[in-house]
Every structure is written in structure tokens, then in C-alpha cells.
Chains A and B, each alone.
Chain A
Amino acid sequence: MNSVVAGITFRAVLGRRRVLLLLLLPLLLLGLAALLRALGSTDEKAAITLMQVYAIGTMLPLLGLIAGTGTIAPEIDDGTIIHLLSKPISRPVIATTKFAVAAGLLVLFAAVPTFLAGYLLLRGEAGIAYGFAVGSVVGGVAYAAVFLLLGVVTRHAVTVGIIYAVVWENLVGGYVPGARNFSIQQWAQTFAAEISTSGFLNASVSMGFAVPAVLIVTVGSVVWAGQRLRVLSLTGDE
């Protein structure tokens, strides 16, 4: 971890227009929760559907994409990253720092609002709010690592990331149960279900699979991103 790299990365991500999405998506979640509460439909089932479909199923991967790729891909694209790379700092340290910034942003903009929305609807009922908050943190960390790696290995990180989240996780995962094993949002739901005691919340991936999967994917992605950064080639304008 390097505090100078972290500071610059933080400002770079928050300085872009995409940061509006970081705010809009959680605001929408809180708005929906407030609406449900106002309508009086604060039963467990409605709350869990909102959390599964929107908080974990839509908001988390999108924010993961913005934060994960946003901490590195634009800098590689426009060459500003040379300022960080032309210093006697190991590249894996730079990758790890950027991962930490992305993960931190996801806790702030995804996990905290998820908890607030859950709490707004159900208070502490059946541990649902806590469960989805922890699930968001775990999923956010994994998304941050995977999308950071995408930002380093491909110039089309956002496209590839959207294809993964929409086509693989939501479309294929919806029809092919086996595909859910390789879905970050399913792992997030596994953690949520583990913590919550609600009978409406069932995970399709076991903890025995989700825990090692999250660890391997997160650590592996960050290490790989660091190694790829070591051999990052910059070509001139010629």
C-alpha cells in the first residue's frame, strides 16, 4: 500500500463524471426502500427481492465495474499512469493499492447504502440488513479485484465487465444453475443467507464453495494484475 498512489487514485476516480453513477445508483436504492416503506410493504419477501435483484444483482456489479476499472483503466489509456510507474515502487504494490481504493469505494457506495436500505425496511429483522451488507462487502471486494484486473489486461475492460455481469451472471446464471457457482453476486448472496435467519433467503451456492472462491478470485486477480503491470508496455504516438 502506498498512500500517495491511493490519494491520487481516489481523486482521479472521484473527479470523473462517472462518479455521478456511484451516487445515483445507491440513491435510487435508498429511494426505492423509502418508497416501499411509505407504501407499507415492509415484509421480508419484498425487502429480500429488492436486495437480491437491485442491490446485489444490479447495483453492486455496476459500481464494481465503475470503481474497479475506473481506478486504473483510464490512466493506462491516457498514459498518466507513467507518473506512478516511473518510480522505484514495485508494481504489485501499485496494483494492491488501487485494489484497496476500489474496494473501499465499494464499501462506501454499495455496502453502506445496502445496509441503510435494509435497515430502513426491516430494522434488524432476521439479520437481513446485516447479511446483505456483509454480502455487499464480500462481493464488492471480489468485483474490485476482478475488474481491476480487467482494466490492466484489456482496453475493453468495461465491455468485457458488462458482458460478464449481464450475460454470464444474470442471463446464463438464471437458466444454468451450474453457472451460478462462478458468479460473484451469487457468492455475495451466499454470505447474506449465511448471516440472515430469514426463511425467504436461500443461496444456490454453498459457503464451502463461496469462501474459497472469493479468496482465490480476489487474491489471484490482484496478484495477476500486479504481474501484468510489471510488464505493461507503453507505445508512443508514432
Chain B
Amino acid sequence: MNIELAQVSRWYGNVVAVNDVTMTIGPGVTGLLGPNGAGKSTLLHMMAGFLAPSTGTATLDGTPIWRNHQIYRSIGLVPEREAVYGFLTGWQFVLSGAKLHGLPSPEDAAAKALAMVEMESAKDRRIETYSKGMRQRVKVAAALVHDPRVLLLDEPFNGMDPRQRLHLMDLVRELGASGRTILFSSHILEEVERVAQHIEVLVAGRHAASGDFREIRRRMTDRPHLFRVRSSDDRRLAAALIADGSSGAVSLGPAGLEVQAVDFRRFTWLLPRVARDAGITLTEVSPADEDLESVFSYLISGSTR
């Protein structure tokens, strides 16, 4: 099944949260990547029928999503907010979901869903006694209980320990491989890269990039990188680096050298060799703009060119 957004915008008062986004989410796993506050949750809520687009349309295989409770036969939703009915046990929670879906044999469906997230052993404890990761898993089980064709997950890996995270990543990959349409949001590139075949990047409410993860990764690494370098002789190192074309601007400051690497691969290969040949000892090489914000702002400046 396909979720289609056509020229969707959403604003709150004067604040634009999502700005003219058009995208189609098809079968397989899609990662919705963007920094915090980019509008990922807003977009996901519009796909899940919990928010009306201010303009544009959100449809599931051509059927409008907003004000249509029948879509939940096909959609499973894992919200970001942790709150679930804490007085229910994991089993009661997932079973209630199965019954609300009107499944023919709710007990079997609930047992199967809990097994998928490896929560059988804790299923008879009240949810309020669960860790954050366990709550997350029981929410995933409740979303999967009716075997939906579409699964939407808002920041699903937050708060999970590494083992649980790997397990959920495997599960999401398997579900995607079986032909389901899966979308999850994340602000961590590595997470998205490990699970999603397809990535949609959202920055400041705008659809900044879309494509295969290799394509996105290449666009993220092929940008000009800024490095901070300290060595035994910054001045001579600067001269040697300028002589090679792989570095753009080189500036010498009190905190050491700032080098703009135009060709990332060549620069990382070149720097140690140049230093060795000139007899200079490198004491520090650190990226000055590796934070996601600058990566994203590069992407969005690229998308508007």
C-alpha cells in the first residue's frame, strides 16, 4: 500500500511546521530523517490521521486519511509519546488492541504479536513497571496485532538498550522485506541507514532530500568538510596543504589550523602523508562541523540550488 502526501503543509498559527511536502511512501522500509523540530512528528501524525493538513492531501491508496477511522484496518501506529495505560498488563494492553480491531481470535493474535517483540516473559506485569524499552516494544506489539499492511513508527528506537534496538531493527527490516509499507522517523543517520532502504530527509519543515541511503550518505560526505588541526608546526603544515588541491581555504588561528576539505576522501588520505613527509607531528585532527545540524543545513542548501 502507498501513503501519498501531495503538497502538504501544516501550520500552527503563524508557525509553519511542514511546508509543501510531496512524497510517496511505498512498500519496504522508509526512514524519515531530520533533526529535532524538523516537523517529522507533524508529518507522521498527518499520515496517521491524527492531524489535518492545512493544505494538500494525505491519502492511503487514494483514500483520504483524515476523519476516516477505516484506515486503521490497514495502519498500525507506534506513537512517540511513552504514555500507555499503565494499569494494564502488557498482555491486557495488546489483547485489548486485538479486540478493538475485532479480530476473529484476539488471544492468538496478541500472543503472536508479543512473541514478535520478545515480550512473552514480562507480559503479565503491569505496564507501569516496564522500562522505557519494554514499553516501546509492547507498543510495537499493539501496533502489529492486526497484521497491518502499513506501519508508522515515531522515533521507535529512542530509549532502547542496544540489544533491544538491534532486535527491533531486525524486526522492522523483516516486516519491510515481507512487502509491508513501513515508515519510521529518526534524527540519527546511522539508525536510518541500518534499517531503511529508502530515506526521506525533512529539515525545517521542508522536504530536503529523498532517495536511496547510499545516495543520501554520498551527498552528506561529499560536502565540504571543516577540520581543526593542531600539529608541531601549523605554519609549515598550512603551506604544504595549500600546495595540494584537496583542501580549499586554510586559516591559521590561535586554536590551530582550520582546513576546509573540498575532497573529503583525498584530504583524509593526504593529511597524514603531507605531515609525515614534512616531518610534522599531528596532535589533533577533529571535524569542526560534523554535527547533524550542519550536515542537514548543507543538504537543504543543496536541495534549493
| B-binding residues in A (CB < 8 A) | 2, 4-5, 7-8, 11-12, 15, 78-80, 82-91, 230-238
- Contacting residues, chain A, for B17 (C-beta < 8 A): 238
How far apart are the CA atoms of A47 and B37 in the complex, in Å? 61
- Contacting residues, chain B, for A87 (C-beta < 8 A): 69, 72, 97, 100-101
Main secondary structure of the interface of A (DSSP, over half): loop
How far apart are the CA atoms of A79 and B81 in the complex, in Å? 7
Name 13 extra pairs, CB < 8 A, besides A2-B100, A11-B88. Answer: A4-B99, A11-B85, A15-B87, A78-B83, A82-B50, A82-B77, A82-B81, A83-B96, A84-B100, A86-B49, A88-B101, A89-B69, A234-B51
How far apart are the CA atoms of A12 and B93 in the complex, in Å? 13
| A-binding residues in B (CB < 8 A) | 12, 17, 36-42, 44-45, 48-52, 67, 69-70, 72-73, 75-77, 79-81, 83-85, 87-88, 93, 96-97, 99-102, 142, 154
- Contacting residues, chain B, for A82 (C-beta < 8 A): 50, 77, 79, 81
Q: Is the CB of A236 within 8 A of B100?
A: no
Q: Is the CB of B41 within 8 A of A5?
A: no
> What distance in Å separates the Cβ of A48 from its nearest Cβ neighbour in chain B?
41
Tell me the total A-B contact number using a CB cutoff of 8 A.
95
> What distance in Å separates the Cβ of B32 from its nearest Cβ neighbour in chain A?
12
> What distance in Å separates the Cβ of B14 from its nearest Cβ neighbour in chain A?
15
Q: Is the CB of A5 within 8 A of B100?
A: yes
**With A82-B50, A87-B101: A238-B42 Cβ-Cβ less than 8 Å:** yes
Q: Find the A residue at minimum CB distance from B152.
A: A86
- Contacting residues, chain B, for A234 (C-beta < 8 A): 45, 50-51, 79
Q: Find the A residue at minimum CB distance from B66.
A: A231
**With A78-B83, A235-B12: A85-B50 Cβ-Cβ less than 8 Å:** yes
- A237 contact from B69, B80, B87, B96, Cβ within 8 A: B80
